Amino acid sequence: MFLNTAEVEVEGSTIYHKTEYRERRSHYAFYHVNAKIDGFDTDRDTFLGAFNGFDAPKSVYENQSGNTLASGWYPIASHRIELTLLPNEEKELIFNLGYIENEQDKKFDSPNVINKDKAHALIERYNTSEKCEKALLELDVYWDRLLSVYTVNTGDEKLDRMVNIWNPYQCMVTFNMSRSASYYESGIGRGMGFRDSNQDLLGFVHQIPERARERILDIASTQFEDGSAYHQYQPLTKRGNNEIGSGFHDDPLWLILGTIAYIKETGDFAILDEQVPFDNDTNHTDTLLGHLNRSYAHVTNNLGPHGLPLIGRADWNDCLNLNCFSTEPDESFQTYGTAEGKVAESVMIAGMFVFIGNQFADLYRALGDEARADEIRKQTAAMTEAVNAHAWDGEWFLRAYDAFGAKIGSKECEEGKIFIESNGFCVMAGIGKEDGRAAKALASVETYLECKYGIVLNYPPYSGYHTELGEISSYPPGYKENAGIFCHNNPWIMIAETVLGHGNRAGALYRKIAPSYLEDISEIHRTEPYVYSQMIAGRDAKNAGEAKNSWLTGTAAWNYYAVSQYILGIRPEFEGLRIEPCIPEDIRNFTVERRYKNTLYKITVERTGEKSICVKGGTAAGNIVTSDREVCEVTVTM
Amino acid sequence: MFLNTAEVEVEGSTIYHKTEYRERRSHYAFYHVNAKIDGFDTDRDTFLGAFNGFDAPKSVYENQSGNTLASGWYPIASHRIELTLLPNEEKELIFNLGYIENEQDKKFDSPNVINKDKAHALIERYNTSEKCEKALLELDVYWDRLLSVYTVNTGDEKLDRMVNIWNPYQCMVTFNMSRSASYYESGIGRGMGFRDSNQDLLGFVHQIPERARERILDIASTQFEDGSAYHQYQPLTKRGNNEIGSGFHDDPLWLILGTIAYIKETGDFAILDEQVPFDNDTNHTDTLLGHLNRSYAHVTNNLGPHGLPLIGRADWNDCLNLNCFSTEPDESFQTYGTAEGKVAESVMIAGMFVFIGNQFADLYRALGDEARADEIRKQTAAMTEAVNAHAWDGEWFLRAYDAFGAKIGSKECEEGKIFIESNGFCVMAGIGKEDGRAAKALASVETYLECKYGIVLNYPPYSGYHTELGEISSYPPGYKENAGIFCHNNPWIMIAETVLGHGNRAGALYRKIAPSYLEDISEIHRTEPYVYSQMIAGRDAKNAGEAKNSWLTGTAAWNYYAVSQYILGIRPEFEGLRIEPCIPEDIRNFTVERRYKNTLYKITVERTGEKSICVKGGTAAGNIVTSDREVCEVTVTM
């Protein structure tokens, strides 16, 4: 937008910003104060003064206003009100910044005078302290309701603060915004990630399930008939992003995970029967369940020489570009090169396939289709076999095979000997749980990848650029995907530790990156001490421990999912609410209140040294509780 | 570029900024000082401090440095040098900011240590005051040589300063940068305009003709076989911009004007025989002269119901979008809608066709092809007839016919009764010079369009949006194309006034917008008092006289062309150098030194009341002078 078109109106104590409204736009903004004003400015240059910066506006410093009407350039909104306060006197002013959309035929009252009816109504709604307090109270109630779906009291104030307030709050923000409005990475316009948005559901689905349902159908509607998917889509048009296209071979699986999380929370199996288009073309549709089967089949239809999933352009690690081979600056590692490589395989997708596939089999069992469930289990078993045969490196799981069939994430490699993602997902999937490989893998993660500030992505970092690896090797050691600490994938190891029953390890890893525990090192960590960041600089970085890109998607959801469902262990299943804590020893007892379906579960967990479960107002099958009452009290000892 | 990759090296007193050099880039920057340093910073956060802005870096205020090595984020370069100065003592330091490109196989001295050979050589080249003074002297000589091609001494210091220094300097900047790096309008990446770059030649061609030659061939190479042209092209790839495409029906004609300006300056008719591709496809080529004929034919092949040129997406006025009909915000007026409209016609293109066509005929005459010259003259005569029959409104020339055949720029219109562009170009073309219409048109421009700060584009401005007019009606009255003062098209009226012999009017209009004359109203004008701006807010704007978008393309070239060739009247022709001043009365005498082809013309113009021309060292044919000497002295009286 060229600011050459800036226009404003001022009426009483209200400033109207109506840039471009005279032509094709039908919205404007207003800024009101509920007091008589002694002056105003809407022209930025006058407000700031020719030689003053934003930190020292001339109008403020000289206590004057120009009563300017911005025209053509740089509109702002500023009220000047002269207040005299007696000792101890208080005065209250309400400033109201609002946004109005009008219908096309109701845009103007008279030529170029905007229709202010809706603005007047909105101002009226909040023009006294009483009205504002009431509205703020309503907002409190709204958030209390959202946040009361899951509340914990462990006695660890930092843990409770994250689980009860900030982590679910960040989950909602990332659910709403995803990356489509991220300044950090690439400005606006990046769109919602297929992969990201599905993962965001994990941390959001219990808050407003109806919106999660809509999101799942939106995402699935961008899928192709062969199960592949646009990597990104635009939230307003809900259409796939052609510039980046498809070819990220982990994408399809995340749709299964997101949908299952939704059904486990709500019991809404009916969503699976919804007819959902392919590539937004309503002439070509299938049920959502059909979409999930295509997602699943996309993996088995794209296996490589070792029976492991082909990686395509990349898997979750967008910077591991094994079919790219870029040599020119400014080529995008994500779109340069091909997704068609028939050699490069991802062990992470293999782990995902088993982790998500087992849940997919459970879904079919819950639907009563044991035959299809068995079929799926056979495929996850075959994938487990392929991993054991070709992706075990002796002390940990490989990360990938490159386009020449060479190992990535192996002791044979000079750099990048071990990676976090494949070890997280394989152990989460239970691979090697029985034969000790899982425990070995996690021990190797601890030995080689863990540092003071979390788990780095790979070890050792790549010291130079490799065309056959792509963007991962373009970063300085310790940053981003080259041995940075991703807050997004650290929870995979936390969950993996709970799969092996390692509560202390899971808790220790959780506390390493949870923002509330980093308040004391804010001078190192530097981002908000209540928000997860995308990345913390790893031990090989000069400024190890310095975080960047707070608020970004995926991260909040996975941490919330790990702590609420696996560490605290209150986990929705198709059959009911599983209660299976795996907590560090310093947490002796805790209580959780969980609204699940139509029941409020009041759960008490106590360490007594004996395992028991006692349910009042419901029934337990193993550690899975169900109830048809309003309140169900559960006491678990461990 | 993500700054996540920032990397630096420091060696002695030199800071090397090598972000992304480790991967696919082969260039780096350095910042050196020729003194031992007492500290440095390369990490912005440390340099500024956590709570300080750019106006108050902590390092400066606290006289300290952190000796930081930026890693991962935000690199800067800062040296700290402790200086003790005795009374009246002087010390000199040389700071050298440089850019180095290395060959692929010579990027590194050792792993991740960059090859600094070229940087060392560059530092060595400027590391003493003597060397720097010598280099600055060489720069002086370079600019003196460039600027000495045309120098004037009128006694009007402001006029001389613009013509001798600032206007040609701005011409070179716009020739180099065009809009491809303009922050003002749309950031980087807009590309070079086909139309703009041709016009830029008018003001640059005499400075470095070889570069003008290259530019002409580059531009012509983006043309299509039917004579149409990409509206923009990228200066690095030299390829047309698909996003905006073609369909601007004035574009082709500008190529003829630019090429003719080059030949008139250099006499290099051989450029016309160069084989030039279409759409950069070297399998499809024609001579440059063939390209010009296709340009010319593109107009005659696209005539509308009145025999006037169809406008397509727009003509020079990108905002007069007569085939667009956009109703949604965010649609581009330039690419939404069609270029195919068979009704909407442009009187401006008609005037251009005659103005440029007459010169095109002269070119053929100069080539000895009188038959083709006559053919062209018949076509310009036919166009003149069409203008007289259908584009004369009684007191001025119409601007256009819209897609419904309705007049634009007519006394019959409620708003937009008269426009600058068509009146400028028709009179420049000599249309109505004999029958008094030209004089009437210019008088109407003065009456209706001229104001204190220049000539506005149209009168009255459009008060509301009209889908059938497009972007022009989207701007607030007085801004941009809706009755703003375009410094780009004001010279068309100056030249038109000289065509009618109105030296006072031409001079008055020149002085209204020439930046040197606006120094005294800098508080109103606000842009640099030595640089033309794209636009000055018109009389209908709230801040009338406020300029915006200085440096932008086209403007400088046309003003320079008008003042140097038409007002001062030293004008290259195919046959030699025309001397035909048309100056305001307050300039009594002036001298010009003009290097033209291989001769330095020393020209004296004196007002004696009698017309005469006296040539020493050359010959005159009418007022056209030629010479084969190194120096030729010309005295003209008037």
The better pLDDT of the pair B137, B189 is held by: B137
Asked if the model's pLDDT at residue A1 lies above 50, the reply is no
Contacts of A546 in chain B (CB under 8 A): 72-73
Q: For the segment A471-489, what is each residue's pLDDT rounded down to a tens digit?
A: 999 999 999 999 999 999 9
% helix / strand / coil in chain A, to the nearest 5?
Answer: 35, 20, 40
Q: What is the pLDDT of residue B185?
A: 46
Q: For residue B187, what pLDDT is reported?
A: 40
Whose tokens are 């703020």? That residue is A136
Q: How far apart are CA B275 and CA A453, in angstroms?
A: 64
Per the model's pLDDT, the better-predicted residue between B454 and A23 turns out to be B454
Q: What percent of chain A has pLDDT over 90?
A: 88
- Closest CA of chain B from A6, distance in Å: 8
Strand, helix or coil for residue B364? helix
Helix (H, G, I), strand (E, B) or coil at B472: helix
Q: How confident is the model at residue B112 (pLDDT cuts 50, 70, 90)?
A: confident
Instruction: Round to whole Å and give the CA distance between A220 and A198.
Output: 10
Name which of B69, B185, B476 is nearest A72 (Cβ-Cβ): B476
What amino acid occupies position A596? Y
Partner B contacted by A475 (CB < 8 A): yes
Place of tokens 């690896």: A469
Q: What is the 3-state secondary structure (H, E, C) of A22-79?
A: CCCCCEEEEEEECCCCCEEEEEHHHHHCCCCCCCCCHHHHCCCCCCECCEECCEEEEE
Give the residues across from B95 on adjacent strands.
B33
Nearest CA in chain B to A481: B4
| Mean pLDDT confidence for B415-419 | 98
Q: Which of B53, B329, B476 sits opposite A55 (nearest CB)?
A: B53
Summarize pLDDT for B507-560 with one digit per residue, the tens.
999 999 999 999 999 999 999 999 999 999 999 998 899 998 888 878 999 999
Is the CB of B73 less than 8 angstroms away from the CB of A476?
Answer: no
Residue B5: which of A23, A112, A474 has the nearest Cβ? A474
Tell whether B24 is within 8 A of chain A (Cβ): yes
The reply to whether B546 touches chain A by the CB within 8 Å rule is yes
Cα nearest neighbour of A480 on chain B:
B4
Reply yes or no on whether the pLDDT at A597 is more than 80: yes
The beta strands (E) that lie in A482-558 are given as 485-486, 533-536, 547-550
Kindly report the nearest CA distance between residue A92 and chain B, in angstroms: 30
Q: Tens of pLDDT along A513-524?
A: 999 999 999 999
Predicted pLDDT at A207 = 95
> What local confidence, expressed as pLDDT, does residue A238 receive?
83
- Using 50, 70 and 90 to split pLDDT, how confident is the model at A185? very low
Structure confidence by residue, pLDDT tens digits, A551-594:
887 899 999 999 999 999 999 999 999 999 999 999 999 999 99
Q: Is B325 on the interface with A (CB under 8 A)?
A: no
Q: What is the per-residue pLDDT for A551?
A: 86
Q: How far is B102 from chain A (nearest CA, A)?
A: 14
Q: Looking at CA atoms only, how far is residue A323 from chain B in angstroms?
A: 17
State yes or no: pLDDT of B332 exceeds 80. yes
Decide if A546 touches B, using CB distance below 8 A. yes
Averaged pLDDT, B401-424: 98
Distance from CA of A84 to the nearest CA of B (A): 32
Q: Does A329 touch chain B (CB under 8 A)?
A: yes
pLDDT of the residue at A595? 98
Residues B343 and B334: their CA atoms lie apart, in Å, by 18
Q: What is the mean pLDDT of residues B569-592?
A: 97
Q: Mean pLDDT over all residues of chain B?
A: 94
pLDDT band at A179 (very low <50, low <70, confident <90, very high): low
Task: Give chain B positions within 8 Å (CB) of A22.
Answer: 464-465, 474, 476
CA distance B499 to A200: 70
pLDDT of residue A180: 57
Q: Note the pLDDT of residue B1.
A: 35
Report pLDDT digits (tens) over B355-367: 999 999 999 999 9
Average pLDDT, chain A: 94
Residue reference for tokens 């897609």: B403
DSSP structure string for B160-220: HHIIIIIHHHHHHHHHHHTTTT-TTTS-TT--EEHHHHHHHHHHHTTT-HHHHHHHHHHHH
- Is the pLDDT at B223 greater than 80? The verdict is yes
CB contact under 8 A, B475 and A55: no
Question: Is the per-residue pLDDT at B38 higher than 90?
Answer: yes
* A42 contact residues in B (CB cutoff 8 A): none
Distance from CA of B99 to the nearest CA of A (A): 17
Mean pLDDT within B494-501: 98
With a cut of 70, say whether residue B569 has pLDDT above it.
yes
For residues A387 and A347, give the distance between their C-alpha atoms in angstroms, rounded to a whole number.
Answer: 7
In percent, the amount of chain A with pLDDT more than 70 equals 97
pLDDT band of residue A190 (cuts 50, 70, 90) is low
ipTM of this complex = 0.85
Q: How confident is the model at residue A188 (pLDDT cuts 50, 70, 90)?
A: very low
Average pLDDT over residues A411-437: 98
Residues 6+ positions from B32 with CB-CB distance below 8 Å: B13, B14, B15, B95, B96, B98, B119, B123, B127
Distance CA A393, CA A389 (A): 10
Tell me, yes or no, if A273 comes closer than 8 A to chain B by beta carbon.
no
Contacts of B533 in chain A (CB under 8 A): none
Interface residue A542 vs chain B (CB under 8 A) = yes
Q: Does B131 touch chain A (CB under 8 A)?
A: no
CB B93 within 8 A of CB B34: yes
Q: Closest-CA residue in chain A for B5?
A: A475
Which neighbouring-strand residues pair with B30? B16, B98
CB atoms within 10 A of CB A172: 19
Chain B residues 576-635 with a CB less than 8 Å from chain A: none
Q: Encode pLDDT of A611-634 as tens digits.
A: 999 999 999 999 999 999 999 999
Q: What is the predicted pLDDT for the residue at B179?
A: 64
DSSP class of residue B461?
A: P
Q: Do A25 and B69 touch (CB under 8 A)?
A: no
The CA distances from residue A132 to A15, A80, A92, A100, B162, in Å, are: 20, 22, 11, 19, 61
Long-range residue pairs from A619-622, CB within 8 A, at least 24 positions apart, any chain: A621/A575, A621/A576
Q: What residues of A are in contact with residue B18 (Cβ under 8 Å)?
A: none
pLDDT, tens digit, 9 for 90 and up, residues A91-123: 999 999 999 999 999 999 998 899 999 999 999
Predicted confidence band at B209 (pLDDT cuts at 50, 70, 90)? very high
What is the structure's pLDDT at A186?
43
Look at residue A124 and tell me whether its pLDDT is greater than 80: yes
pLDDT for position B190: 65
pLDDT of residue B220: 97
- In a mutational test of the B interface, the residue from A22, A48, A69, A186 whose CB has the highest number of chain B CBs within 10 Å is A22
- In this predicted model, what pLDDT tens digit does every residue of B292-309 receive, in sequence order? 999 999 999 999 999 999
Give B473's contacts in chain A (Cβ within 8 Å).
23
Whether the CB of A328 is below 8 Å from some CB of chain B: the reply is yes
Cβ–Cβ below 8 Å for A474 and B4: no
Asked which of A222-236, B65-79, B170-184, B399-413 is least confident by mean pLDDT, the reply is B170-184
